[in-house]
Structure 1
Amino acid sequence: MLRNYFKIAFRNLWRHKIFSLINIMGLAVGMTAGFLIFLYVRFELSYDSFHSRSERIYRIVADLKTPTDIIHESLAPWGVPPNLKNDFPEVASFVRVTRANKVMVRKEAAEFQEGSILWADSSFFNVFDFGLLAGNPQTALKEPFSVVLSETAAKKYFGKESPIGQTLQIEEDGYPVKVTGIMKDIPENSQIKGDIVMSLTTMVKLWDPKMDNNWGGYGAYGYLLLKPGADPGALERKLPAFLEKHTGAAMKQSQVYTTLLLEPLRDVYLHSTRDGQKKGNITNVCIFSIIAIFIMLIACFNFINLTTARSAERAREVGVRKVVGAERAQLTKQFIGESVIICLISFSLAVLLGWMLLPLFNQLAGKTISQSIFEHTGYLGILLLSAIGIGILAGLYPALVLSSFKPVTVLKGRFSTGTHGILLRKVLVVSQFAIAIGLIVSTIIVYNQMNYMRNRDLGFNKDQILVMDTQGAPSRYAFKEALSRISGVKSTAMSLSIPGGVNSQAYSEVENFKGELQAGSLDLYYVDFDFINQFKIKIVAGRAFSEQFKTDTLQAMIINETAVKMFGYSSPEQAIGKRFSQWESKGVIIGVMKDFHFRSLQEPIKPLSMRISPRNDQFVSVEVSSADLQNTIAAIEKKWKELIPGRSFNYYFLDEFFDRQYRSEERFGKLFLNFASLAIFISCLGLLGLVSYSTVQRAKEIGVRKVMGASVSNIVTLLSKDFLKLIIIAAVIAFPVVWFAMNKWLQDFAYRVTVSWWYFLIAGVLAILIALFTIGIQAIKTAIANPVKSLRTE
């Protein structure tokens, strides 16, 4: 009997090749997309989960309340973690981790400018599970000038030779550091990333011997490992008294009051909104999860529609089998079995497609979600069970409908699946296209937001600007001067900060509209006299820095329009000549610059100050001509090697660097577009199934109309209008839901597009055109068919 079921199942699949192909491919594509999205969501949710004690690790963060605003800081003061360990028994351990932007590392004659270096306390390998392949985790980072290399870094510097006990040199002064350990490469799903980990005691010895009692410097991420059973909420409530004890007087004097908070390590990546390292987005994870569910639902809906559309063709088969003694239960099992077989074939294709598409998916996601789908055998098993479940559930309704046909009725040629079946199929199509239309609108909004961010006027010039980091090399001024004599160089400037990069914040006191010195935190750019002209930043009041005024070097400040408003002035002109005090420097405001976006468009423009400070300049920015660019860069590199020979030549273009901030959003947009297109494609298959079913059911009616003189366009219109009504109903359902959801998504952006009515109009028109095309394929085929065939009586 079972063999017979399989034979009939494959015979029917082969007899109806097109329907079978649509069914199998629709399910395969749906399962592939759903599985890949599942891997992405699982990966995003898995950040830092590989640490065995991750549920007891907390990041220390701070809210700094000034008289004007609150700064949400992701770093902790240097002195807080070690003193928390000393004062509270519930703290088992602590670790401070800071990342070096660029460090020169030498091995004999070879030089490398490393940008993936961490400085960490000796407890680094005790708090976190970054496994050591060689070395003692207790002592590897204990002594000054000790360093641990990743497997990749070890091969890079020492090849097959054992690095343990060998020496590297760091910084221009060539400080010798001893390799004390080799660790596994840090996993992709870790917020803390680096190929080289240096002992923080090295930093203490070289630059800051009083680091453990530094309560004002925010230079490192601080992490606490709590003892088992410790209550983080109770500990957090003790922190105000802790701060008052150690730094209460300093807070009162500076008028900056700190509140310490604890963030669970597992929540930081997706949920923390604080400034700092690039994080994930829980909203995007939820959106992709919903899309995966939608795609799987659409695939199931298609199966029901397409299988039911074939019920008319198999009705006589059912009638004959019932006449010869087949029971309803047997027929039900057979038809459910057929749907399960289709799902298993689809599962096999989904595994093949997933294996083939995973490298491309990793590329689109911008990270290695998985090396191979076969490393997730448990998840493949879940997908297999899901495929069988889909086969049973999706095949249940058609099986019951087909097995319920009365043999006398169907053998006479009079049969129908009933109004309930028609209603269900229409509901499924409405659901599919509500999802599809929603995704079309969402795609349009996502694309427009990305386009808006790329093309918005940032308020400064970033085109053809080449940036180099001299890391404070003594000859940097001579290098800048030499560049101005290269023919392809239009202008040069120096600064400590670059738009789109990291900049410092400075506690400042500025005379407000009442004539009082008002404390506040200002972002600070140290620049030279050429910076404002180089970046074409507009001065709206007062003047720019000028070498003609000797006091500009020490006693002048320029602020932006946002800072003007913060200190209560109604116009930029009113701020000119007002006093300021900032980091031991005092003077007056000489100019107000127009607001420009020196941070991402996801953040509002913040109060900004600029000052001249030659000793702090680090970056050389060069505006170059687009003509003969290759030779210009070669000439710049030649001057670099002549004047800054101790450092490797590295550069980037500012426009590319600034746009890099939006890569995660652009990747989200590309992934969204691809999966939305898949959902729309699968929805069209479902619509094709319903059209096919309708044309079979109305074959005699269409034949009569053609005999009576109906044209092809009349028949196409007849078959299309009912489906277009379903599309309109789907649009009415989808539009308000999408309007609400996308407005919420846009809240993540400080500067964003508005959700305009024409987005919905375009989506509606596109949905109708897609539906008309899908319907037209089958409708035209039916309309041009010979009516004699449909009117013939058997």
Structure 2
Amino acid sequence: MLKNYFKIAFRNLWRHRVFSFINIMGLAVGMTACLLIFLYVRFELSYDSFHTKADRIYRIVTDLKTPTELIPTSGPAWPVAPHAKLDFPEVEAYTRVNPDNVLFRKDDIKFMEEGAIWADSAFFQIFNFRLIRGDVRTALIHPFSVVLSETAAKKYFGKDDAFGKTLLITGGAVPATVTGIMKDMPENSQIKSDVVLSMCTLTAEWAKDLDNQWGNYGPYAYLLLKPGTNAQALQKKFPAFLEKWNGEEMKQIQMYPTVLLEKLKDVYLHSTRGDLGSSKSSGNIKNVYIFSIIAAFILIIACINFINLTTARASERAKEVGIRKVAGAIKGQLARQFIGESVIICLIAFLLTLGLAALLLPAFNELAGKTISKGIFENPGLLLLILATSLVIGLLAGIYPAFILSSFNPIEVLKGRYATSSRGATLRKTLVISQFAISTALIIGTIIVYSQMRYMRNQSLGFNKDQVLVIDTNEDKNREALKQAISRLPNVKAVSLSGSVPGSGYAGAYSEVENIKGDLQITNLDVYFVDFDYIPLYNIKMAAGRPYNREFKTDTTQALILNEAAVRTLGYRSPDQAIGKRFKQWGREGKIVGVIKDFHYKSLQNPIKPLCLRMEWPRMGLISVKVNQAGIKGTIADIEKQFKTSIPNRPFSYYFLDEFFDRQYRSEERFGRLFLNFAALAIFISCLGLLGLASYSTMQRTREIGIRKVMGASVSNIINLLSKEFLKLVIISFFIASPVAWYFMHKWLNDFAYRTQISWWIFAVAGILALLIAIITISVQAFRAAVANPVKSLRTE
């Protein structure tokens, strides 16, 4: 009996191979997309879950309250973590992690390790970064110790054993001992580096007072709490802790920190303060939710197609059911047969899904910008879930023919009195509306995502980033000489030395600036360290006053330039009112000499904050070079020669500012590409289903089409007849999708400080696209039916 069921099932598949192909391919593509998205979502949710003590690890963050604002920071003051270990028995261990760019040298090999980190000695005891060589308890306990990843060890020592060997670090060529070799850090880790240096190198050797600087907010800090500790109860103890250690200074500077504890597993997706890789790898829980919803939508669309086509074709087998019943088949046997056939089709689709997913996974990894999985069989649980899903779909799709057709009276069916149920037609229409509503919503979402990306790229930034080359000298003592040498090159328009460029890091400075009432107002200003040439090179416009000028000798010691946002926080109605006002900042006193127009020194996701430009030569290590487009390769070669002459002990590296600035939008660009691709897949699957239903509808009306053509109906009349019913369903789906899409995309746009508007034309374009897609899909089949020979059509019955 079972063998007979298989024979019948494969015979039916082959006899109706076009419908079978549409059915199987639509379901397989849907499950493939769903599998890939689930791999992505699972990877995003897995960040830092490999740490065995992750449930007890908390990151310390701080809210700084000043008289004018609340400043959220991603880390506490330097002394907080070590003193918390001393004061609170609930703290088992602590580590601070400070990212840095560190020069490494071994013989003629030299690299600027831009992803290096400094960490306290408990780093490898708190986090599960496995050491191949070395002791987790002692690897970072002494100054000038360094732990290398396997990749870094091979880079510097080749096949030789790096353990116990010496490297030279920083521009001072200080010897550092390799005290450990670790496995490369996992992809799903916030902390990701090939080089870990001992924090005591800083705190015990190079900056011995660092652990007492309560006003210096720098490192990321993590606490490992003892088992059973209530983190919220511990958090409530920090106000008294800060009062004990720093109460007098807080009152003096009127800056009051509030310490908060963030669970390690929540930082990557839920924290608004960024992580160690905030420019590279920080996640967004909203994006995870969006892709999960898209995966569900795609699977729903695929299921709708499968159930639609299966139930639509079920009526063709009514006579088969009648004959089988007359021959003695009972209802249970018929039900098992139809359900079995449906499940077999789903299993074929599942096998096809495995092949498609394995084939597409490398391209999907590239699209996602990270290796979310090296192979689909790395996640057997997820494959079992997809298999179970396919079986459930098969059961659901088989229920209609199994229990509806198997219950028909065989005599009625064999006499030709069986008619398709109107309830079945209503069900199919409802399913078509549902799938096209989802597709239309995804079209609207895709247009809005790309509108936002275009808006961010085309928005005026308030400065000129084109044709600017940036070189990092790491504050080498010969950087001024290098700047002068570069300025003399023929294709160089301008050169500037600074501590930051737009899109890069900035410092926060406790400041006192005279406000509209004449009082010195305490405020926190972002700081860019710049020279005389910075403002003209970047073409930053002045709102009032003047830029820094070599003719004014006091500009290097007694002058400050603010942006318009800073002026507004001081209560001034116009920038001119701020000129000549007093300031105190980091031991310097003087007057405001200029106000620049606001420019976007961060990405457009962030509002423009109060900023000051300060002249301070020791803190400037970046050389910005404005170059001519013509002969740019030769200009770069000339700059490299000058670099090697002036700074021979450092590797030459550069980047173009426009590319560097646009890196801030990489995560949004990846999100947009993924959204577009999966929206296109959803639309493709919807079209497959629509094509299948249109083909079935056309086949059911073959005789009617023949009669209409004999009576004089034109090709356009026939196409209109076959299309209008489906197009009505698409129009209904548009009106359902539009408000839903507007609601969710409005919430998504709220994450951007500067955002595009959701205009009416977006919905108009989406509606027209949905209609065009439907028209093209239906018209292919309708045209074939319309041009067919009516004589053949009339002979079909």
Q: Please, what TM-score do these two structures have when normalized by structure 2?
A: 0.98
How far apart, in 1, do the equivalents of 2:419 and 2:130 lie?
67
Give the match for residue 139 of structure 1: 138
Compute the displacement of 1:414 (Å).
4.0
SS in 1 for 2:236: helix
The 5 A counterparts of 1:51-70 are 51-70=51-70
Question: Does 1:783 pair with 2:783?
Answer: no
Shift of 1:382: 2.1
Please report how far the alpha carbon of residue 792 of structure 1 lies from its aligned counterpart in structure 2 after TM superposition.
Answer: 4.0
For residue 15 of structure 1, report the CA deviation from its aligned partner.
Answer: 1.2
1:558 matched to 2:561: yes
Give ranges in structure 1 of 5+ residues lacking alignment: none
User: Equivalent residue for 2:686?
Assistant: 683
Q: Deviations over 1:39-96 (max 9, x none)?
A: 0000000000000111111000000011111110001111001111111111111111
Measure, in 2, the Cα distance between the counterparts of 1:691 and 1:329: 32
- Structure 1 residue 409 corresponds to structure 2 residue 412: yes
1: CA distance between counterparts of 2:551 and 2:760? 55
**Residue 723 of structure 1: CA displacement?**
1.3
Sort the Cα spacing of 1:706 and 1:406 in 2 relative to 1 into closer, same or farther, 3 A: farther
Could you say which residue in structure 2 is the equivalent of 1:471?
A: 474
- 1:113 has 2:100 as partner: no
Give the drift of 1:143.
0.9
Residue 273 of structure 1 aligns with which residue? 272
Distance in 1, Cα, partners of 2:339 & 2:312: 16
| 1:765-794 per-position Cα deviation (integer Å, ceiling 9, x unaligned) | 111111111111122222223334444485
Query: In 1, Cα distance between the equivalents of 2:65 and 2:119?
Result: 28
Asked if 2 retains the 8 angstrom alpha-carbon contact of 1:401 and 1:417, the reply is no
The aligned residue for residue 540 of structure 1 is 543
Q: Which amino acid aligns with 2:152?
A: A
Kindly tell me the number of residue pairs found equivalent between the two proteins: 793
Corresponding position: 1:624 with 2:623: no
Confirm or deny: 8 A CA contact 1:14 1:20 kept in the other structure: yes
Q: Secondary structure at the match of 1:627?
A: coil
**CA-to-partner distance for each residue in 1:660-682, whole Å, 9 max, x for gaps?**
00000000000000000000010
Q: 2:248, 2:321 → 1: CA distance?
A: 89
- C-alpha contact 2:64 2:71 (8 A) present in aligned 1: yes
Following the alignment from structure 1 to structure 2, what is the Cα–Cα distance between the partners of residues 786 and 615? 88
Task: Return the offset for 1:394.
Answer: 2.4
AA in 2 matched with 1:295 = I
Tell me, what secondary structure is at the counterpart of 1:138?
A: coil
TM-score (norm 1): 0.98
Structure 1 residue 319 displacement after superposition: 2.5
* 1:666 counterpart = 2:669: yes
After TM superposition, the structure 1 = structure 2 runs for residues 647-666 of structure 1, keeping only pairs within 5 Å, are 647-666=650-669
Give the Cα–Cα distance (whole angstroms) in 2 for the partners of residues 598 and 551 of structure 1.
26
Q: Which moved more, 1:207-216 or 1:52-61?
A: 207-216
Encode CA deviations 1:368-401: one digit per residue, 9 max, x unaligned: 1011112222222222222222211222224334
Q: CA deviation at 1:707?
A: 2.4
CA distance in 2, matches of 1:697, 1:407: 22
CA-to-aligned-CA distance 1:287-320 (integer Å, 9 cap, x gap): 0000000111111111111122322433332222
Q: 1:313-462 counterparts in 2 under 5 A?
A: 313-462=316-465
Partners of 1:117 and 1:406 lie apart in 2 by 78
Q: C-alpha distance in 1, partners of 2:417/2:202? A: 89
For the Cα contact (< 8 Å) 1:73–1:275, is it kept in 2?
Answer: no
Shift of 1:339: 1.4
> What secondary structure is seen at the aligned counterpart in 2 of 1:222?
strand
| Superposed counterparts of 1:44-193, under 5 Å | 44-100=44-100, 102-193=101-192
SS at match of 1:115: strand
* Equivalence for 2:225: 226
The 1-side partners of 2:390 and 2:91 are apart by 48
Paired with 1:295 and 1:732, the residues of 2 have a C-alpha distance of: 20
In the TM superposition, 1:518-667 aligns within 5 A as 518-667=521-670
- Secondary structure of the structure 1 residue equivalent to 2:237: helix
Going from structure 1 to structure 2, the CA distance change for 1:549 and 1:494 (only over 3 Å counts) comes to same
Tell me which amino acid in the other structure corresponds to 1:641. Answer: K
Q: Deviations over 1:621-646 (max 9, x none)?
A: 00111101111100000000001101
Tell me the distance in 2 between the aligned counterparts of 1:438 and 1:287: 12
For 2:30, the equivalent position in structure 1 comes to 30
For structure 2, which runs of at least 5 residues remain unmatched after alignment?
none
1:697 equivalent in structure 2: 700
Contact 1:309 1:689 in 2 (8 A): no
How far apart are the structure 1 equivalents of 2:535 and 2:628? Answer: 19
Whether the 8 Å contact between 1:92 and 1:226 is mirrored in structure 2 is: yes
Which has the larger displacement, 405-414 or 256-265? Answer: 405-414
Equivalent pair of 1:309/1:692 in contact (CA under 8 Å): no
- Residue pair 1:362, 1:368 contacting (<8 A) in 2 also: yes
- Measured after TM superposition, the shift of residue 413 of structure 1 is 3.7
Residue of structure 2 equivalent to 1:239: 238
8 Å contact kept, 2:143–2:205: no
Deviation at 1:356, TM superposition (A): 0.9
Q: Distance in 2 between matches of 1:790 and 1:619?
A: 79
Q: Which residue of 2 aligns with 1:13?
A: 13
Aligned partners of 2:401, 2:531: CA distance in 1, in Å? Answer: 76
Give the superposition deviation at 1:498: 0.8
For the 8 Å contact 2:433–2:732, the answer to whether it is kept is yes
Amino acid at match of 1:379: L
Aligned mates of 2:599, 2:115 — CA distance in 1: 30
Distance 1:611 1:509 in 2: 14
CA distance in 2, matches of 1:158, 1:125: 23
For residues 735 and 438 of structure 1, the distance between their equivalents in structure 2, rounded to whole angstroms, comes to 6
**Do 2:310 and 2:397's aligned partners in 1 also have CA atoms closer than 8 Å?**
no
Query: What is the distance in 1 between the residues matched to 2:293 and 2:558?
Result: 57
